[in-house]
Each structure stands twice: as structure tokens, then as C-alpha cells.
Amino acid sequence: MTGPALVSEPVVPFEKSGKRPAGRLGRLIDEYGHGSGRSLPLHRNPGLEIVYLPKGKLVWQCEGTRETLHPDSIYFTMPWEVHGSATDFEPGHEWYFAVIRVGHTGHNRLTFPPELNLSPAHSKFITSTLLSRKQRAWPATRIVRTLLPELCAELDNPGDMSEHRVVNMCTLLLSEIAAIVSGRAETGNNDTFRINKLIAGLHGRLAEEWTLERMAGLIGLKRTQFTALLRKQTGDTPTQLLNRIRTARARELLITTEHSVTDIALECGFSSSQYFSDVFRRFTGSTATRYRRLNKRPPPNRA
């Protein structure tokens, strides 16, 4: 992957083929929608954007920080934050999103529409919680999985009770996201989300030194908890998983580049050529040299 795209000011709001709510509902929601896309240019929203991804995987960036959205996850951004896709999106994904109208004072305070009837204490908790972490991608809860699609459906077909229903859904949605970020909400897929986050992190930094403590810390677990969870989710020990990912990358480099075996070993994070040789043979049943000879891709025909 390439690094985050450079941003040149000014960045203008960008519509994701979204819809504008009818009538008074537009005082609460700036834009909403359901669908997918190939990519998303860097942009800012005029409010607090909340995205729910029921399926697929997207690579997103916010203020130059890259995160992977795994299936059944949420993503939120502040009105001042520049965000968009870091790569072309994988096909087959699906999202729901809504941009709740909020004001802001600098980068440290959100002001919510008076229609939401949030108390000062509630507003302060939501604001301080969402601003306390740089992480923007989080596992979805049952409430979010139900609420955001229902909100989009209500906005699509407004009725006599729609304003009341949208107010309640927005209030609950904001409270639930604050609960997720603060660790007060139970996310049924949290284990899978954590392991996916770990694997994505390892893929991007294979050449670095990964200790058991560092891998566990990446997903906020103690060593023992991490080892047990990884075994349960993948069947691998931490070392096995790391070597499996490093070997997969080495196989790719062996058949697509002219790099020497030693350089590939180091690029993939192996401490020595001998250790790489032992691990590679264990996972593939072959030496690296033989694997390259049997699987090397021919150069493209430039004729």
C-alpha cells in the first residue's frame, strides 16, 4: 500500500451519492445513505459522520492515519477531519451512513442540535469520549447494527412520527458510539475484530520486531489473554501466526521480484537467512530457491 495521500487546503465537502432528508429532518441530519463505492475522495463533512459496514473490508484514512474497516464495524469522523479512502475499495462491500448536524468550537468541543435534548453532562461525555481516542474504526454493537439501517429507512420514508423517531435514534446512536469507545458497550464480534486488527497491523509492518508483548499490546490485551484468544480464533500461537504471514509475503516476493533470498528474508522480518530457510520449509515443504524456480512469473510481454 502507498502512504496516506497528501492533503492540500481547502478540502471541500464531498457527497457519497447520499440523500438529503426532507423538511425539518434536515435540521438533524445533513446527509445519509446506503450503498457502496469504488473509492472516496478526501473530504470533510459539515457534521459528525457515522458509518456502519455490515460486510466487506475498506481501507480508510483520517487526518493521514490509516485504519482498516473490517466487516461489522463502525467508523466516525469529526466535522473538521479530512478523511477518505486510502486505496480502491474491495468489491462486494456495503455501508450505511448518516451525518448528524453538529457545531464545533475549534477541535475540542461539539455542540448538538437542541432538538436532541441532550443534557450538558451528556453532551460533555459524548464529546470528551469521542475526542479522547484517535482510533476511528470500532466493532459494531447489536444496537448500532440495527439502528443505523433503521435510521436510513426512516429518512427514506418519513411519516407523521418521523421527527420524533429520528430524534430518539440519533440520541441513542450517539450514546451507543460513546459507550463503544469508552469500553462500556458489549460488542459481540469484538474478538474477531481484534484479531483482524492485529493481522492488518502485522501485514503493514512485517520488517519490524514483534514480541509477544507488542502484539498483545496492539489489541489491548495481556500476554496470556492474547495467546488464548489467538489460539481460539486462528489455531495458531503468536509465533506461528507471525511466521505464517511473513512466509506468505516472502512467497509473493519470490515470484514477483528479483530480490535475493537473503534480502527477502530481511524484508519480511526474519532475523537470519537460516531461520527464514527453516520456517519457509516448514510452511511450504520447499526451499525458497526451489519455490521461486517452480513458481516464478514470466516478465510481461512488452511487444
Question: In terms of DSSP bridges, do strands 94-100 and 83-85 run parallel, antiparallel, or are they unpaired?
Answer: unpaired
CATH number at residue 226: 1.10.10.60
Q: What pLDDT score was predicted for residue 214?
A: 92
> Domain boundary residue among 187, 218, 245?
187
Domain presence at residue 3:
no
CATH number at residue 62: 2.60.120.10
Query: Coil, strand or helix: which one is 84?
Result: strand
- Domains in the chain, number: 2
Q: What pLDDT score was predicted for residue 90?
A: 67
DSSP 73: E
CB 177 within 8 A of CB 76: yes
pTM score of the predicted model = 0.61
Indicate if 64 and 168 belong to the same structural domain.
Answer: yes
> Domain boundary residue among 155, 187, 219?
187
Q: What pLDDT score was predicted for residue 296?
A: 75
Q: From residue 71, how far is each of 97, 101, 141, 169, 268 by CA, in Å?
A: 15, 26, 12, 22, 27
Q: What pLDDT score was predicted for residue 229?
A: 87
CB 198 within 8 A of CB 218: yes
- Name which of 5, 8, 201 is nearest 87 in CA terms: 5
Question: Tens-of-pLDDT digits for all 303 residues of the chain?
Answer: 223 334 444 444 444 568 999 888 999 999 999 988 877 888 888 899 999 998 887 888 998 888 888 778 899 999 999 998 887 776 778 899 999 999 887 677 789 988 888 888 899 899 999 988 888 998 888 899 999 999 999 999 998 899 999 999 999 999 999 998 888 776 555 676 777 778 878 877 899 999 999 999 888 889 999 999 888 877 789 999 899 889 988 988 998 899 999 999 999 999 999 999 999 999 888 899 999 988 876 655 544
> Domain boundary residue among 136, 152, 187?
187
DSSP H or E segment with residue 63: none
Indicate if 210 and 271 belong to the same structural domain.
Answer: yes
Indicate if 213 and 86 belong to the same structural domain.
Answer: no
Domain presence at residue 18:
no
Domain span at residue 36?
Answer: 23-187
Domain presence at residue 60:
yes
CB 60 within 8 A of CB 73: no
